Amino acid sequence: MVFSSGVFMFMFLPGLLAVYYAVKGREIRNYILLTASLMFYAWGEPVFIFIMLSSILANWALTLAMSRSSWPKLWLTLAVSLDVVILGVFKYAGFITENLGLPRVNIALPIGISFFTFQMMSYVFDVYYGKSSAQRNPLYVALYISFFPQLIAGPIVRYSQIESEITGRHESIDAFSEGVRRFIYGLGKKVLLANFVAQVADNVFGYMMNPSVMMAWLGAVSYTLQIYFDFSGYSDMAIGLGLMFGFHFEENFRHPYMAASITDFWRRWHISLSTWFRDYVYIPMGGNRVSHSRTLANLFTVWLLTGIWHGANWTFILWGLVYFALLVIERETGKTPGHVLTMLAVILAWVIFRCETVAKGLGFIASMFGLKGNALYDGGFVEYIRGTWLVMTLAVIGIFPAAGRLLHRHAWIESAWLCMVLVLSVLEAISASYNPFIYFNF
């Protein structure tokens, strides 16, 4: 079930809100949310829900044992090893066997396994480092892991961030209203912008063997816009849904395409993932408090793992290592490339990320610079521009905060705008058959 589907918007969410606010008592409301979240996941994953529940129960038991043990590191190791093995088997077994020359093992990938596994590890780490107390009620741990707004595509919520809200949150009209506002904006990003530019990107990347230079750039820019509006739109909807039920999630995007450096970009893009690796991998390994060579090794490890986290493909590994190299260059030179060069690097990196193989990615980049004997532009490019210029212009405007700030200053204008976005999004969501979420694959 996806947030932009009719089933979710007209059946699941209204029904859940009605039941949730019809009853009193924090405990019963938590159990209602847990039941609804499990139903939400089981809608698309009726088999894998048992794997998720088994993993939750194991992590709860191991963490509880860790909190009571004289050897907490032993229990930490057991819990983290379990999570890594589960993630490795389901996400990387086929990739590993294929690259070892063995018969490929094909195992279906549970939706959102990378997100909810990292949340489980976050719970274990937060208890180990004393940031949170071990939860005695396994159903509350299950609610934290499976809470449907952030279950399958993030943001990755730390247990320490919402521990107190599980048992002591306060719902309010103001928070609910803000949640509705964020949800509508996210829905519009996804349905009206991401889905449109996605079709342009898919056509260019999927069906053109040697596009013209301008067509290749159109495809690359379209995918750059798609992945931002798709993922940030989902995060906006998740944050908005959390507010409707009294939960406050951290921001996951802060206008990343305004970044003036690669370092700045990763302070703005998928913040919950980059800070997760910083706090649970980079800093425990010593961060930048160790020797220069060790610091570089720590950075290499983080970005290798970041690439691997995204998927079982050499393209993701290369994508992660490209960012490692760019960040090291910035670190060693002490210079920032500026907005234009940063965005050029980001766009080219997204091409590698998007393509099925490294060879295709490098070939597509060659087409972008006319290195394959391709023409500068062709008739197809002109037709695409005629049909897409308005939405592309709105998408480019949408990556900057100015328009949003202007609307927010005038309540009646923003209210009218939100109503229009909601109506158009619902109509588009009902009529469209093309409605993918990129990060469901991770």
Question: How high is the pLDDT of residue 58?
Answer: 96
Does some domain include residue 327?
Answer: no
Does some domain include residue 240?
Answer: yes
Q: Please check whether residues 18 and 138 belong to one and the same domain.
A: yes
Q: Please check whether residues 248 and 360 belong to one and the same domain.
A: yes
Does some domain include residue 274?
Answer: no
Residue 432 belongs to what domain range? 175-260+338-441
Nearest C-alpha neighbor of 221 from the set 348, 320, 326? 348
Does some domain include residue 323?
Answer: no
Token pair 């939100």: residue:
418
Catalytic residue among 248, 310, 339, 410: 310
Question: How high is the pLDDT of residue 242?
Answer: 96
Q: Please check whether residues 245 and 386 belong to one and the same domain.
A: yes
Report how far residue 422's alpha carbon sits from residue 7's, in angstroms, rounded to the nearest whole number: 16
Q: Please check whether residues 344 and 431 belong to one and the same domain.
A: yes
Average of per-residue pLDDT across 344-348 = 98
pLDDT at 236 over 80: yes
Model confidence pLDDT, tens digit, residues 389-434: 888 899 999 898 887 788 878 788 889 989 999 999 988 888 766 5
Average of per-residue pLDDT across 266-286 = 95
pTM of the model: 0.92
Question: How high is the pLDDT of residue 235?
Answer: 95
Nearest C-alpha neighbor of 226 from the set 369, 436, 403? 436
Helix 195-207 and helix 379-398, axial crossing angle in degrees, nearest 10:
140
Q: Please check whether residues 103 and 148 belong to one and the same domain.
A: yes
Q: How far is CA 184 from CA 3, 125, 213, 237, in A?
A: 11, 34, 36, 7
pLDDT category at 326 given cuts 50, 70, 90 is very high
Question: How high is the pLDDT of residue 438?
Answer: 64
Last residue of a domain, one of 169, 198, 229: 169
Does some domain include residue 180?
Answer: yes
H-state helical runs in 281-374: 292-310, 314-333, 339-354, 358-368
Handedness of CA 88, 94, 95, 97 (dihedral sign): positive
Q: Which two tokens stand for residue 357?
A: 């193989």
Nearest C-alpha neighbor of 395 from the set 224, 203, 262? 224
Report how far residue 19's alpha carbon sits from residue 39's, in angstroms, rounded to the nearest whole number: 14
Does some domain include residue 202?
Answer: yes
- Average pLDDT of the chain is 91
pLDDT at 357 over 90: yes
Residue 310: active-site member: yes
Average of per-residue pLDDT across 312-318 = 95
Q: Which of 52-56, 92-96, 121-125, 176-180 has the lowest mean pLDDT?
A: 92-96
Average of per-residue pLDDT across 256-273 = 96
Q: Which two tokens stand for residue 345?
A: 């690097």
| CA angle in degrees (0–180, nearest 5) for 342-275-1 | 95
Q: Please check whether residues 355 and 410 belong to one and the same domain.
A: yes
Q: Which two tokens stand for residue 122?
A: 């976050």
Report how far residue 250's alpha carbon sits from residue 158's, in angstroms, rounded to the nearest whole number: 9
Q: Please check whether residues 227 and 352 belong to one and the same domain.
A: yes
pLDDT at 292 over 90: yes
Q: Please check whether residues 97 and 136 belong to one and the same domain.
A: yes
Average of per-residue pLDDT across 268-285 = 95
Question: How high is the pLDDT of residue 387?
Answer: 82
The residues, ordered by sequence, that sit 6+ positions from 98 with a Cβ below 8 Å of its Cβ are 104
Does some domain include residue 299?
Answer: no
Q: Please check whether residues 107 and 211 belong to one and the same domain.
A: no
Does some domain include residue 317?
Answer: no
Give the dihedral of Cα atoms 170, 5, 86, 38; nearest 10 deg. 50
383-392: long-range pairs with CB below 8 Å, 24+:
384/200, 384/215, 384/218, 385/218, 388/196, 388/197, 388/200, 388/222, 391/192, 391/193, 391/196, 391/197, 392/197, 392/221, 392/222, 392/225
The residues, ordered by sequence, that sit 6+ positions from 398 with a Cβ below 8 Å of its Cβ are 189, 193, 229
Model confidence pLDDT, tens digit, residues 180-197: 999 999 999 999 999 999
Q: Please check whether residues 41 and 93 belong to one and the same domain.
A: yes
**Please, how many CA atoms are within 13 Å of residue 340, restricted to the half-sphere of its CB?**
0
Last residue of a domain, one of 126, 142, 169: 169
Nearest C-alpha neighbor of 63 from the set 156, 131, 165? 131
Q: Please check whether residues 215 and 95 belong to one and the same domain.
A: no
Question: How high is the pLDDT of residue 80?
Answer: 95
**How many domains is the chain built from?**
2
Q: Please check whether residues 162 and 224 belong to one and the same domain.
A: no
Last residue of a domain, one of 169, 187, 221: 169
